[in-house]
A and B are shown apart, each in its own frame.
Chain A
Amino acid sequence: MTLIEARNLDVGYRVAGAGLLSAPRILPIVHGVNLALQPGRSLGIVGESGCGKSTLGRALLRLIEPTGGSVLWNGQDMAALSPAVLRKMRAQMQIIFQDPVAALDPRMTLARIISRPLATFAPDLSRAERLARAVQALSEVGLSADFAQRYPHELSGGQAQRVGIARALIGRPSLLVCDEPVSALDVSIQAQVINLLMDLQDRMGLALVFISHNLAVVRHISHQVMVMCLGHVVEVAGRDAFYAGPLHPYSQALMHAVPEPDPVREKGRRGTSLTGELPSVLNPPPGCVFASRCPLAMARCHAERPVLRSFGDRQAACHLIEA
C-alpha cells in the first residue's frame, strides 16, 4: 500500500505581473513530479538551492496549494478533503524545519510547544494527559522529562531540533517531511539527529521525505534518491544504485563536486566539472534545464526538454543516456 503519492504535481507561486497594472501571474517552481512512498521507507530529495525541493515537500503536505496534478494519501485525493478533515489528518503527516530555534515559539514552555498540536488532533485529552504525551514525546527524542518546563532559548541547536521532532511525533504520524533538518547543526550533532530519525523510523514505521543538499547525509538515510534541477526531477534511483554510479550528468556533477573527508582522495582533486551559469527560474530554457551547464550538451538538449525515462529500475531525464 502506498502511503503518499504525487501525480504530475505542479507547484507555483503567485507573483506580481510583468507591468505595473498587469494581473498577478503564477511563477512555476515544481514541474510534473511523480513519486510514491511506502510506509516505513525514506525518500531523499537532493538538489541545489532554488531547485524546488522544499516547495515540493510543502506541497506534498498541502502547506502550499499545488497548481496542478494531485497528491494521494493512502490512495485518497487530498484535494477532495474538506479543510476540517485535512486538519485532523495532519496528525499523520508532519514536517520539521532547517532552523530548529526559529520553528519554536520563544514564549512557550517546551511542554506547551510539543503538546499544542493535540488541541487539534485530540481535543478531548485532559491537561494532564497532554502533558504526559509531551513528556513521552520528549523521551522518544532522547530528552529527559525536566525539559518539559524549559523555554526554547535554553536549548542548543541539536536539542531544539529534537524538540521539533517531538512536536511532530505527538500526533503519531506515519509521514515526516524533513526539510534540511541537519544543515544548521554541527557535525557531531548532525550525526545524533540522523541516527535519531533512523531509530524512530525503525521503531514507529515512519516514512521519511528527507530534503537536503548534502549528498552524503542523504546516502545515509534514504532508501530511494530523487534529484531535482530547476523544478524538474532529473533522476530517481535506489540508494545503492545511485551512489554506485548516477546516470544523469547533473547527478554526476553533484557527486563529483562533493569533497570527501579523505585527503588521499581529495588533495589537489578538482571538483569543478561544470561551466556556465545556472539559468533563472524566471526565464527557464526551452530545452533541458541543465543544458547550459552540462559538459555533454548537444544541440538537441538546448531545443527539446528530455522526459523521465526508465532504465531498469531507475529513471533519468537525459537525451544522452542509451537504454
Chain B
Amino acid sequence: MPLTPMTADLLSVRDLSVRFAQPQGAIVAVDRVSFDLAPGEVLGIVGESGSGKSQILFSLMGLLAGNGRADGQALFQGRDLLAMPPEALDKVRGAQMSMIFQDPMTSLNPYMRVGDQLAEGLIVHKGLSKADAMRQAVAMLDRVRIPDAARRAQAYPHEFSGGMRQRVMIAMALLVHPAVLLADEPTTALDVTIQAQVLDLMADMARESGAAVILVTHDLGVVARMADRVIVLYGGRIMEEGRAEALFAAPAHPYTQGLLAATPRLTDSLQARLGTIPGSPQSGGAIRPGCPFAPRCAVKIAACEVMPPLVTNGAHRLACHMGAP
C-alpha cells in the first residue's frame, strides 16, 4: 500500500480485514481496506448489504461479534485501536470516539432514564459529579431540540418517538466532545422529514464541535448532503474513493456508475427505465481472488480474475482494470 500514515490525519486505517469464523470456513467481510480521516472531515462510506461497511465501524469500536476478528492497523491519534487492551480501548471509545447506531431503541437501555444514560458517560469518562453531569445532559438534550428537556430527561426511551430517540443518541454521542463520530445508517429507520432533521442536527453539531465523522449508509442522497469525501465499498473492498462532488460528477468505477444509474431521483429528466446492475450483491463467503464486482460487471475482462490494485491519482482512488475514463 503506497499510503503512509500522515501526521495530519486523526485516524489512519491500514489493511483492515474483518473475518468471521463459521463452521464451513471463515467469511471475509472486509478485505484489506485502507483510508485516512482528517480532523473535522465527513467521510461517507457507501455500499449495499454485505459490502462490509458497518463492520468497518464495529471493528474500530471493538464491537465485532464474538466470532469476528479484525487484522491490520487503525491508528487513532498515533495509537493502534486494533492492538489496544480492552481497558485502554474503553478510555478511547465513549470519550474520544463515539458511535450512533441505526436502531436507537436497541442501543438505549430501556431500564434507564434517558438523562441518567447521558450523564453516565460524563461521570465515567470525564469524572464529573452526578449533578454537573445531569446539568450538561439536560443542556445537550435541549441543544438537540428535545422539547422540555429537563422533564424529558426523567423519561425512559420508550416514551420517545423514533426521531427523538435518534436525537437522544446524537446528544449522547456528542456529549463527551469526541474527536471522531462514527454513524452507522443513522437515518435509515426514519421518515424523510425526521431524517432531514437528524442530518441537519448531525451536520450542525459536528461543525460546532469540530468532530470528524464517518457516515456509513446505503443512501447516495444522504452521502451527497453530508460527505466531503466518499468511499464506495463492494464485497469488502474499496472500489473507488474521491471528493464527493468529483465522484458523483464523474464516477469511474462500473459499480459506482451502476449505483448512480439505478437510483431514482426527483429532479432528473425521467427515463423510461432505471439503470440496473444484473445479479445480486454478494453476501459473505470465501474470498475471491479477483474483483468482487466482476460477476455483475458489464465490462469485465479476463484480467478481472485478479483483484486490481487501488490506484491513487490526486484525491481519487480507483480499483479497476479498465482504468480511469
Which residues B249-267 have CB closer than 8 A to chain A? Answer: 249, 258-267
With A191-B275, A198-B273, A266-B224 already in contact, the answer to whether A259 and B263 are too (CB < 8 A) is no
* Chain B residues with CB under 8 A of A216: 263-266
* Chain A residues with CB under 8 A of B248: 261-264
Residue-wise, chain A 165-198 has the 8 Å CB interface mask toward B (1 for contact) of 0000000000000000000001111111011001
With A48-B191, A187-B262 already in contact, the answer to whether A259 and B281 are too (CB < 8 A) is no
Residue-wise, chain A 237-271 has the 8 Å CB interface mask toward B (1 for contact) of 00000010000000001111111111111111111
* Chain B residues with CB under 8 A of A157: 49, 280
Cβ contact within 8 Å between B218 and A261: no
| A130 at interface, CB cutoff 8 A | no
Cβ contact within 8 Å between A263 and B193: no
* Chain A residues with CB under 8 A of B262: 187-188, 190-191
| B200 at interface, CB cutoff 8 A | yes
Cβ contact within 8 Å between A267 and B196: no
Cβ contact within 8 Å between A259 and B258: no
* Chain A residues with CB under 8 A of B277: 188, 191
| B147 at interface, CB cutoff 8 A | yes
* Chain B residues with CB under 8 A of A255: 266
Residue from the set A158, A215, A265, A271 with the largest chain B CB neighbour count within 10 Å: A271
| A319 at interface, CB cutoff 8 A | no
Cβ contact within 8 Å between A156 and B200: no
Cβ contact within 8 Å between B49 and A186: yes
* B285 smallest CB distance to A (angstroms): 13
Pick the contact of B222 from A191, A259, A272, A274 — CB < 8 Å?
A: A259
| A220 at interface, CB cutoff 8 A | yes
Cβ contact within 8 Å between A272 and B200: yes
* Chain B residues with CB under 8 A of A55: none
With A159-B280, A277-B147 already in contact, the answer to whether A194 and B264 are too (CB < 8 A) is yes
| A108 at interface, CB cutoff 8 A | no
Bound Cα distance A260, B196 (Å): 12
With A156-B280, A191-B275 already in contact, the answer to whether A49 and B191 are too (CB < 8 A) is yes
* Chain B residues with CB under 8 A of A159: 280
Cβ contact within 8 Å between B276 and A191: yes
Bound Cα distance A40, B222 (Å): 34
The chain A residue sitting closest to B258, CB to CB, is A188
The chain A residue sitting closest to B190, CB to CB, is A49
* B127 smallest CB distance to A (angstroms): 36
Bound Cα distance A9, B266 (Å): 30
The chain B residue sitting closest to A186, CB to CB, is B48
With A186-B49, A259-B199, A262-B248 already in contact, the answer to whether A217 and B266 are too (CB < 8 A) is no
The chain A residue sitting closest to B189, CB to CB, is A49
| A125 at interface, CB cutoff 8 A | no
* Chain B residues with CB under 8 A of A191: 261-264, 274-277
| B220 at interface, CB cutoff 8 A | yes
Bound Cα distance A293, B193 (Å): 11
* Chain B residues with CB under 8 A of A26: none
Bound Cα distance A265, B194 (Å): 20
The chain A residue sitting closest to B244, CB to CB, is A263
* Chain A residues with CB under 8 A of B193: 48, 253-254, 257, 272, 274, 293
Cβ contact within 8 Å between B245 and A267: yes
Cβ contact within 8 Å between A195 and B265: no
Cβ contact within 8 Å between A187 and B196: no
* Chain A residues with CB under 8 A of B227: 263
* Chain B residues with CB under 8 A of A187: 48, 218, 220, 259, 262-263
* Chain B residues with CB under 8 A of A133: none
* Chain A residues with CB under 8 A of B197: 271-272, 274
Cβ contact within 8 Å between A258 and B192: yes
Bound Cα distance A315, B8 (Å): 57
29 contacts between A and B (CB under 8 A): A48-B191, A158-B280, A159-B280, A186-B281, A187-B259, A187-B263, A188-B48, A188-B258, A188-B259, A188-B276, A195-B274, A214-B264, A219-B266, A255-B266, A258-B266, A260-B265, A260-B267, A261-B221, A261-B260, A262-B224, A263-B225, A263-B248, A264-B248, A266-B225, A267-B224, A267-B225, A271-B196, A272-B197, A274-B197
Interface residues of B (CB under 8 A from A): 48-49, 147, 161, 191-197, 199-200, 203, 218-225, 227, 244-245, 248-249, 258-267, 270, 272-277, 280-281, 283, 296
Given contacts A159-B280, A263-B227, A271-B200, 6 further A-B contacts (CB under 8 A): A48-B193, A192-B276, A219-B266, A261-B260, A265-B267, A273-B196
Closest 5 pairs between A and B when the two form their complex, measured CB to CB: A271-B196, A259-B221, A261-B220, A191-B262, A257-B196
